[in-house]
Amino acid sequence: MKVTVAKKRDNVLLGRAEYEMAIEFDGKTPARNEMRDAVIQNLGCNPDTTILKKTDSTFGQRKVTARVNVYKKKEDMMRIEPDYSLIRNKFKEVAVKEKKAAAPKKKEV
């Protein structure tokens, strides 16, 4: 997998660096976690503070464009990023709601 940085923007207010990248691959489209690992390896950043925000692929091309946020502190990332993004990047588990037991049906006499 080949990763190239198209844009980099430092967002001082949110304490993060925002990247737009192109990821080229052979074969099938890689999974999100594989792309995230390739980006982390390419940038040399901390895996605990890196979020793969968005991926876009075009049919027939072996290229994916991705948006990545790299935070300075994990606390900032957990506070700023929405829950669905943290779940996608395996920083948070899905909260499973338990179903209430059905009330026993009354028999009519």
Q: Which amino acid is present at 7? A: K
Measured between alpha carbons, how far is 49 from 81 in angstroms, rounded to an integer?
A: 11
Q: Which CATH superfamily, name and number, covers 2-88? A: RRM (RNA recognition motif) domain (3.30.70.330)
pLDDT tens, residue by residue, 45-88? 999 999 999 999 988 899 999 999 999 999 999 999 999 999 99
Predicted model pTM:
0.79
Instruction: Tell me the domain boundaries of the chain.
Output: 2-88
Phi, psi values for residue 2, rounded to 5°: -110, 125
pLDDT, one tens digit per residue, over 16-38 is 999 999 999 998 889 999 999 99
Work out the angle at residue 64's Cα, subtended by the Cα atoms of residues 39 and 28, and round it to the nearest 5 degrees: 100
